[in-house]
Amino acid sequence: MKRNILLHPDPRLKKVCAPVTSMTDELRALADDMLATMYDAPGIGLAAPQVGVLDRLIVMDCVKEEGEAPRPLIMFNPEIISGSDDLNTYEEGCLSIPDQYADVTRPAEVDVRWIDRDGNEQTETFSKLWATCVQHEIDHLDGKLFIDYLKPLKRQIITRKMTKLKRELARG
């Protein structure tokens, strides 16, 4: 089931999410809904707070090449266990901040540990776009948005545009 994506500024997007303590069918259904929502948007990542749920859960799939099999990942309690000294800069966007993009510099490679939908611990090294995406989504779980990496003026301009967009959408 597709869910509504919260738009910035929304106080829920600035909250630190609670760890998932037990795997439930409800959480698995949420993860499936989040994947459907992400693909529909379309996006390459989505965090639970973006759909109004303050649990440590992200989904992502950075496969973009035509004809290549999708690789959906569901991560409960994801954490970065190490990051490279090498940095990469990508132009980031966010489904909660539509049509706004900015360059963000992050570690080029990260090792991530998480719990999968079956309750098993997983670890993987991510690089390139996958590394940027997983860091962006984990930031959401800590109440941080990609615009928080920008200079204050640029962040204010984007926030004003989003406030205006939300007003226009509310009017219908």
Both structure tokens of 20: 């998932």
**CA-closest candidate to residue 110, choices 142, 80, 140:** 80
- Cα→Cα distances 157→15, 111, 170, Å: 22, 34, 20
Q: One of 26, 66, 109, 137 is an active-site residue; which one?
A: 137
Asked about 137 being catalytic, the answer comes back as yes
* Unique residue bearing structure tokens 């090792």: 111
Sheet with strand 109-115: strands edge to edge: 45-47, 57-60, 73-83, 109-115, 121-127
Residues designated catalytic = 137
